[in-house]
Every structure is written in structure tokens, then in C-alpha cells.
Amino acid sequence: MDKAESWLYKTLQYRFQDTGLLKRALTHRSVPGLNNERLEFLGDAVLDFVISDAVYKARPDASEGDLSKLRASLVKDTSLAQIAADIGLGEHLILGSGERKSGGHRRESILADALEAIFGAVYLDRGFAAAGEIIERVFANRLEELPDAGDLRDPKTRLQEWLQARGMSLPDYDLVRVTGAAHKQGFEVSCRVAAGDGAMPAVTHGKSTTRRKAEQKAAANMLAELLGEGS
């Protein structure tokens, strides 16, 4: 049993019948020859079905829209990359020299794709049930701690809904400043909410690498202020 096989058995309690599938699942497209793109395509489909089934059973009263949000929160790249990092997948990736030098074993998209490729490889190796068991194993904690669907709405939407429920005006977002070179800009945005009875309006700020993300952070900060959670 080589290093990658030993790692997989130790972390996921799985041993491949066809070890070539594991090697392919770990091989990035920066390496000449067979790579994990086709397995990632297959694993993505298997993952979507298994997680859809899991959230459907976990939330019997949830609407289709809420189930979609819950599934999306679980299978997004950031979640997959975190799981991959937690199990040490990056140490076993097979990368081209350029990707190795640039830290590809830590890159979110590469980790997420490789994890899905492993799911696809297990599906080909032993079938759907085996792939489902692996997926449920690595997602176990996240499935046990599913958030409320309402908490998955972005901060701007939640702030708007909070204000509308109280008959208050919608917030105004203004670009405060842009910093940095064109290829690496930083954005600061303000979020202003009008206060009643002549009081001064509430203003919060958010900073990020895009204006949209900065607006989301400013909205999140405003929600924290309005809910009394601000520091």
C-alpha cells in the first residue's frame, strides 16, 4: 500500500480495488496525460444527489428553496476545500511543477475538485452505495449542524428584510474609497440606515477586494449593530 492509499484508508476507511483510479483522482490537469477532470465531473453529480437526499431527510418541513440553499452551503467550493484540507488531501495531490511552486496543494479550487474526483473514483470503483458512504462520512459533522435556512441568506438580503419588517427605509450603500493597483484593488463601502424621530442615521463600513463583498460586509456590520451585537 503506497502513501496515498494508506492516507485514504486511515482518513476515510476506504481501500480502492483499482488503485489507478485513486492516482487519477489526485492528478491535476497541470500534469501531462490522464487527470482528474472527468472524475471530478462524475463526483460532482454523485455528491449533489447524496447531499440532496441527506438534507431532504434532515429537514422534512423545508421548502424546495430552503433545501437548495442548504445543499449549496454544503457543496460550495469553500466547504469542499475545507474538508479536503482537514483530511490532508493537499499533501497527496499530483501537480505539475508550476502548480507545485505556486502552492497549488493549498489552492481552494484544486482541493475542492480533487475531493469531488475522489468521490467519482469511489463510485467507479465500488458503486453508488460506497460513494454515498464516503460522502456521508466526511460531511457527517456538517449534516448534524445544519444552519437555519434563513441564516444562509446573504447579509444584504437579511438587512433588507429586517428593515422592511419594521417599516423602515432601505439602506443606502456608497463607495467610500478604492485603494491599490488596478489588478489588486481594495474597496471600502458605507451602509447607511435612516433612523426615526430625527435621530442620526446609523452608518457602518465594509472592506474587501470587490465592491459587492464590501457591501455585504457593511450590511453584516449594520445587522450586528441593529441587533445589539456590535462591539
Active site residues per annotation: 44, 116
Q: Which amino acid is at 108?
A: E
H-only helix segments in the chain: 3-12, 19-25, 37-58, 64-75, 77-86, 97-101, 108-126, 128-138, 140-144, 155-165, 211-226
Beta strands 202-208; 186-193: pairing state: antiparallel
Sequence-ordered list of residues with C-beta below 8 angstroms from that of 219, at least 6 positions apart, any chain: 154, 155, 156, 158, 159, 171, 173, 191, 204, 206
